[in-house]
Chain A
Amino acid sequence: MMRTADRLRRRVPVRLQTRLGDAFGTWTTDPDLPLRQHAYQSPLRDERLAAWLGATLGILFTTCFVTGLYSHLHQHPQSWLPLPARPAGLFRFTQGLHVACGIASLPVLLAKLWVVWPRFVSFPPGRRIADAIERLGVLALVTGGIFQVFSGIANIAQWYPWHFSFTAAHYWTAWITIGAVIAHVGAKAPITARAVRRRKHRPALADADPVLGTTAEGVHDGLDRRGFLVSVAAASGVLTLVTVGQTLPGLRRLALLAPRDPADRPVNRSARNAGVIAATTSPDYRLRIEGRVSTPLTFTLAQLQALPAHTADLPVACVEGWSYSARWTGVRLTDLVAMAGAPADAEVRVESLEEHSPYRTSFLNRFQAHDRDTLLATHLDGRPLSDDHGYPLRLIAPGRPGVNQTKWVTKVVVL
């Protein structure tokens, strides 16, 4: 073997050997150093920036995950975890927070990727098993994080350049992303703790991280580390300021880039798109109460309007982050099912005239179905419902996502 190697070495010209050696040195590095690390000594790429941005992103992503999980539980109810109907504005708050944190994370994610970019191109990816595990986790974090922010923003702008279900893809990728966040926190916890410590307790940056930290404490033109962090925070702040008015009425006038205006009383699906106008305006329209009842009932719209009406101030909170409060008038759902002889703690399924939609039915657990403010509404803000708002009858209940406030209701099934 040695002889063969020696023979080969003798045959290859020295100059070529040198060039090959240089190329190898250029394109491969110690796994602890990025590719051609000299080229990446920007003053804005250092350990402390990476730590602060990473911690911020971790908080934003975790908030998105927890609030998203709450939304998922509303849309996919679990019998072992009946969600409470109160407080009535809880879902409005959690989903507004979910979308606001998702939007605010865009500049933070881009800044974080910018600061750690040299890490991505280090080669070989790792020489130890732990390196490979960490690199794979980072790959999951980067792909998952970018996808979640991109797909979330595209969804609130109702832009769907894909053929998969947004909710399913966003939900399952969220598990991947939060898993990668946890793995990354485990890997970076000592570094982050050291980096965010007060100045007198932390080592010199160049000692702490020779790759990212050699120039960060030097003097440079342009933004320093604090200026960069302040600018990223300002970017998140401005983005929040120009969008959050879609759920915070006090900031509505500043919501120049919000995809919806709450003053318009927006809807997610129009009657025309749902294909229900003919059925809702038909004189044959009826509401049926059936299922686990002693007396199945059928009502015409006139009969429903003759029943005792109740009024409730409740929010409509869309999963896309916009919301508004309105005054709803209609018949209490609990009164209707009691008239049909349903048990006092019965769960209920409400069905729409809409035929082809994953949201044509919605489930109400015992708390939601028997809440005093859960109505089958006929009026919005004192006026009869418009077609787009669910004429002739829509469900409105406290603390639920807008997609579960079923419009164009035609059947109530007691379960």
Chain B
Amino acid sequence: MTAHRRGPAFWIGAALGWALILFGLRGVLQHSLDTRPSQLARFWIAGALTHDLLLAPLTLALGVTLARAVPGRWRATLQRTLIICAPLALFAYPEVRGYAHILRNPTSLPHNYTANLVLVLAAVAGLSAAVALISARRRPSTVSGRSPTGRGRGGRLRLWSRPRRAGGRARRPR
């Protein structure tokens, strides 16, 4: 993956790391009554596939859509808000769904998690907007429709533009 020559750190790390990985795999197989290896393997693979084929593409699509829809000056605020809110929503999902209630343990999930999640998300969004407004006031005014840096065009998609280097053209990937 990396072009540099593999040093001793790579081989020492690989030897030690793979010894532990194999120890873990052996444990999974040895305690198969508890670990149910085939089902566990399905969960391992499903987790990675869910990220690679669902979560990451959805995030990419959402980013593209928002980049088209949201003016450049607000993009950072929106990104910041979503980066904080998305993990909160993911974390709270099993609580909002109330899966623990099936165990009939009165001390499990004692709150109204839907209301609490909405409250936390609203607080994050409000705080993020307040920070953006305050920093916009502190910054010197910019040309209308342009980003504060003066280079980006607000509201237009510039997802993978190249940097402008001092010498002129951007360097291409080797």
Partner among A215, A235, A261 whose Cβ is within 8 Å of the Cβ of B87: A235
User: Interface of chain B, helix or strand or loop or mixed?
Assistant: helix
What is the bound-complex CA distance between A179 and B173, given in angstroms? 32
CB proximity of A371 to chain B, nearest CB, Å = 27
A175-B21, A257-B117 known; A130 vs B6 contact (CB < 8 Å): yes
The residue in B45, B51, B97, B171 that gathers the most chain A C-beta atoms within 10 A of its C-beta is: B51
What are 22 pairs between A and B in contact, CB < 8 Å? A135-B1, A147-B43, A150-B47, A151-B43, A157-B99, A164-B35, A172-B35, A176-B21, A182-B20, A183-B18, A186-B10, A186-B17, A187-B14, A190-B4, A191-B2, A221-B76, A221-B158, A222-B75, A227-B79, A234-B84, A238-B88, A242-B116
Determine if A19 is an interface residue (Cβ-Cβ < 8 Å): no
Q: Which residues of chain A are within 8 angstroms of B76 by Cβ–Cβ distance?
A: 221-224, 227
A41-B162, A180-B17, A231-B80 known; A211 vs B100 contact (CB < 8 Å): no
Contact at A122–B48, with CB atoms within 8 Å? no
Contact at B17–A182, with CB atoms within 8 Å? yes
Contact at B1–A119, with CB atoms within 8 Å? yes
State the total of A-B contacts with C-beta under 8 angstroms: 316
Contact at B107–A267, with CB atoms within 8 Å? yes
Partner among A191, A210, A231, A257 whose Cβ is within 8 Å of the Cβ of B173: A210
Q: Which of B131-174 contact A (CB under 8 A)?
A: 147, 149, 151-154, 158-165, 170-174
CB proximity of B41 to chain A, nearest CB, Å = 9
Tally chain A residues at the interface, Cβ within 8 Å: 114
Determine if B24 is an interface residue (Cβ-Cβ < 8 Å): yes
Contacts A32-B1, A179-B23 known; 6 new A-B pairs at CB < 8 A: A147-B44, A173-B28, A186-B13, A214-B172, A215-B170, A221-B72
User: Interface of chain A, helix or strand or loop or mixed?
Assistant: helix
Contact at A169–B35, with CB atoms within 8 Å? yes
What is the bound-complex CA distance between A218 and B59, given in angstroms? 22
What is the bound-complex CA distance between A216 and B83, given in angstroms? 18
Q: Which residues of chain B are within 8 angstroms of A384 by Cβ–Cβ distance?
A: none
Q: Which residues of chain A are within 8 angstroms of B40 by Cβ–Cβ distance?
A: 162, 164, 169, 173
What is the bound-complex CA distance between A168 and B170, given in angstroms? 52
Contact at B91–A158, with CB atoms within 8 Å? no
Determine if B124 is an interface residue (Cβ-Cβ < 8 Å): yes
Determine if B25 is an interface residue (Cβ-Cβ < 8 Å): yes
The residue in A215, A269, A272 that gathers the most chain B C-beta atoms within 10 A of its C-beta is: A215
Determine if A73 is an interface residue (Cβ-Cβ < 8 Å): no
Give me the 8 closest cross-chain CB pairs, A-B, nearest first: A186-B13, A218-B163, A183-B17, A179-B20, A175-B24, A176-B24, A158-B100, A221-B72
Give the contact stretch, choosing among A83-91, A105-113, A327-335, A403-411.
A105-113
The residue on B at minimum CB distance from A172 is B27
